[in-house]
Amino acid sequence: MTLLFDLNSLRPPRSGIGYYTQHLLEGLREQPDVEDVAGWVGSTAYSGTSLTDLMTDQTSLQAAAQFSDGLKATLLRKSRGLPGLYRMRTVVRHHASRALRRDFGRRGYIYHGTNFIASRYNGPMVVTVHDLPHRRHPELHAKVAVDYLDHGLPRTLRHAQTIIADSIYTRNEILEIYGVPEEKVVPIHYSGRRARSGSVFH
């Protein structure tokens, strides 16, 4: 089994989803039936030693991240609050990784999107949905973030073969709000037992 991840969530400053991605990568790489775990930042693919370096060395990760410092980085961060530009940033990232995603798809890698909205992928895909507060309480979230999720999440849920929910509650919300087939949504609770991470891919 060969697995592919979008590694952009590992960028500093690390969020909860970034730590989830890191721990998932660490656990899956220990599984005997996982032949390779790969991923990308920008237009660069990482696997084996290069992935290890990226996961453990923040300097390597900052170097891999486009516009991580300086004026361009400042403008990019501020653009998240402007209508349309938050989505444009995502489009730029998706465009940068298009060729390598196509290559990994041809090679049969299973793509796992850990940050709600997955990049388009011509191959088997798993996605994690952590919660859905933007639907229950949109007034508590930035409008650009709500619009971004409302626009992209339904497509991701349609295309994914398996949807991981962090809890039974989130699983039920996914079924109620988006009407996806019940058999697609698998609740996997956070656990210190990393070995459980790989079960969804079988």
20 close to 127: Cβ distance less than 8 angstroms: no
Quick: pLDDT tens for 135-144: 888 888 888 8
Q: Is-above-0.75 flag for pTM?
A: yes
Tell me the pLDDT tens digit for each residue of 112-158.
Answer: 999 999 999 999 999 999 999 898 888 888 888 888 889 899 999 99
Report the DSSP beta bridge partners of residue 6.
40
Distance, in Å, from the CA atom of 193 to the CA atom of 202, rounded to the nearest integer, reads 18
Residue 55 domain boundaries: 2-201
- In this structure, what CATH number is given to the domain that contains residue 32? 3.40.50
Give me the number of domains the chain comprises. 1
